[in-house]
Structure 1
């Protein structure tokens, strides 16, 4: 159905709600329709339009006078409301798979290449794929080592430069691993390959999130969850849910953010051997959600739990590699950011400043991101000169990394300077901004 392919997604928190899960499992569409009406604002007329049903039929279902049993109708509901197929006992729907993972390659007419083109002598991607299928050896433990080393390199380069140019390579690597998983003689290595696929899918989702392409990010995060579920890796499932929670705060959906991070905490507590570092990181993600909800008590409780768990960390803890970034400096800066979101700028400022002094490494995006947070906090406190000086320090790392999230913080800070445009500190900042990032100045001035 063409219309359903363009239907907006339901909130992630709604799809994970126990009532929604139970209603879908029982195929109780009266309950499903009521839930999407009350919790997502999708009224009966909209349900009818999305699912290619008549309004009267939807009304009968809502009143309990009609049941929907035909498979084609159930499939239309899944597609129209964007309910994942497994929730209704259906096969995976086509729209659930990110475009980058779809195996089908549609034949399209291709214009003739100029004779002088250097690429004319190179095989096309279809030929490369055929050759790869015939030459691909069975994966071995060394294959896993190479794939994991590649993931570590991708993360490092993403932190330094952003993911825009890396993303095609990561998606290609993911497709390669998915191809291996479709093999028939993997044996014990299948479990580890699922873990690699989950990591690659999460990395791709993170890159799309950093680019503020939220729908694609969510698709890949969902793929990562599926791969992690295949091997019952509850700790990694918690990690992916935490990423989705952070994305929800950027989308101004604090209710979803809190539901997702609470689900992440449940997964982590249910896992065997979850380390205090993981629990501390998740508590600070909860603090972000609570602060976005303007919950003073909830934010401070989550921060307190994060500190308590961090104090339990031991050098011998078997931390998963994806959480080792969460050191004391990160604990401090995230605490400051949570308090800044809550509006407690006076407490947040020294924390963020201290964390920036302690931070080391080559994470340019993190440096720019946190420095802009400090500048915005100083501006809230009326320290205009300090804020402009701090923001100026953030411009160089911001210019060297391709990150829409960082650019968004720069634009927001620049907009907050509007009442002070004639002040010398602001003029100096704008001059430096124009030198390093002229396109960002133009974008900020658009009406």
Structure 2
């Protein structure tokens, strides 16, 4: 559809669009220079303000070097106000470019149609690689350079990438619902970057950040017990990761997604998901490959596929030994020693290997921060499950009851509750009348 827009009241003189200083400022999104040059050529700050919707005093301050423009929607409004072609600012072609006559120099031919441009280049090149010919070639190349604008660094995207990195350090004592609210608010800020044409490099970064944020939102929803919503966010995260081309991020997302059915009673479904994640991760010693092997061990152990579970544990340990320091950092995207032992604890507990499970529990608790409410609670429930495996059902119930009763309100539902419920359901019915078992049942029902 062609949008037949009237000329902008702030349209810059056509000769400015061929001025090297103006073109450089546009490429670098130097709005101080752009506004100052437009003003010197007769475009008042008031007219720029009226056309762009930016306050005139802000336009004046920017022209004097006391501010700039970074938000994508504002850059688009300036392009439309001054009638600067999108390519010069690293944007897609603006709607009015198809209907507004383009500025012409005296050397222009009858237009910018492909056939005329082809004939002009052929005629110029027929005389050899002269200065004129090389200039024509350079103009064509530079126009594409501007369209790609790979060196553009949108400030809002940089801020969102930093926010994603910060969220990756986990809860740090904050209630899950608070973390979720903050995460989703920042995630929404990515929409303008993803819903408008962007340079390839910028879109890759935006998609990767979207995949990370959506994946972390899914983790929090999983921890809160919202299984369906968690799976939906993982689907969005995977879509973004695939578009970014980051296979390790995609493997991480699928590995974390497998933990939803794993932790909520469907280990066989989890094993199918995690096998897909393992294929994406490949066989290099990465954080994603280590995570997926550890999750696979848990899924196989809970499915009573003991041999596969032990093979997966060996693979996870082998990857862990080869991880570099960066991949061992304590974030949601990496695979540190504490996280590794949390996975081993659950897998070994499910296998009934209580001696090794207790070793992993002790090490994980040693490495866990005092504020890691959820992680420490899960480890304590695993320890209680080991006690049940060793034959002391009463003590196992007392320990689990103490864990659940001590949880803050924000943690009373979700993953810890589910892990405690799994322990209760594994207790043979002949023990259900015992006082400790009844007390655990009542706490879980409260």
TM range (shorter): 0.5 to 0.7
Q: Normalization by structure 1: what TM-score?
A: 0.58
Match of 1:394 in 2: 403
Match of 2:297 in 1: 287
Q: Secondary structure at the match of 2:159?
A: helix
Q: Which runs of 5+ in 2 are unaligned?
A: 1-70, 77-90, 92-151
Match of 1:334 in 2: 343
Q: Does 1:359 align with 2:368?
A: yes
Given that 1:275 and 1:317 are in contact with CA atoms closer than 8 Å, whether structure 2 keeps it comes out as no
Q: Residue 194 and residue 203 in structure 1: after superposition, are their counterparts in 2 closer, same or farther (change >3 A)?
A: same
Given that 2:401 and 2:443 are in contact with CA atoms closer than 8 Å, whether structure 1 keeps it comes out as no
* Aligned pairs for 1:100-111 within 5 A: none
Q: Secondary structure at the match of 1:166?
A: helix
Size of the alignment, in residue pairs?
A: 299
Q: Does 1:216 align with 2:226?
A: no
Match of 1:194 in 2: 207
Q: Residue 297 and residue 236 in structure 1: after superposition, are their counterparts in 2 closer, same or farther (change >3 A)?
A: same
Q: Secondary structure at the match of 1:323?
A: coil
* Aligned pairs for 1:223-238 within 5 A: 223-238=236-251
CA RMSD, 1 decimal = 3.5
Return the alpha-carbon distance in structure 2 between the equivalents of residues 400 and 198 of structure 1.
Answer: 30
Q: Residue 421 and residue 162 in structure 1: after superposition, are their counterparts in 2 closer, same or farther (change >3 A)?
A: farther
Q: Residue 358 and residue 279 in structure 1: after superposition, are their counterparts in 2 closer, same or farther (change >3 A)?
A: same
Q: Secondary structure at the match of 1:188?
A: helix
Match of 1:303 in 2: 313
Return the alpha-carbon distance in structure 2 between the equivalents of residues 237 and 134 of structure 1.
Answer: 30
Q: Does 1:371 align with 2:380?
A: yes
* Aligned pairs for 1:142-161 within 5 A: 142-156=155-169, 158=171, 160-161=173-174
Given that 2:285 and 2:320 are in contact with CA atoms closer than 8 Å, whether structure 1 keeps it comes out as no
Given that 1:415 and 1:444 are in contact with CA atoms closer than 8 Å, whether structure 2 keeps it comes out as no
Given that 2:169 and 2:332 are in contact with CA atoms closer than 8 Å, whether structure 1 keeps it comes out as no
Return the alpha-carbon distance in structure 2 between the equivalents of residues 197 and 134 of structure 1.
Answer: 19
Q: Secondary structure at the match of 1:165?
A: helix
Superposed displacement of residue 399, structure 1: 2.0
Q: Secondary structure at the match of 2:190?
A: helix
Q: Normalization by structure 2: what TM-score?
A: 0.58
Q: Residue 239 and residue 361 in structure 1: after superposition, are their counterparts in 2 closer, same or farther (change >3 A)?
A: farther
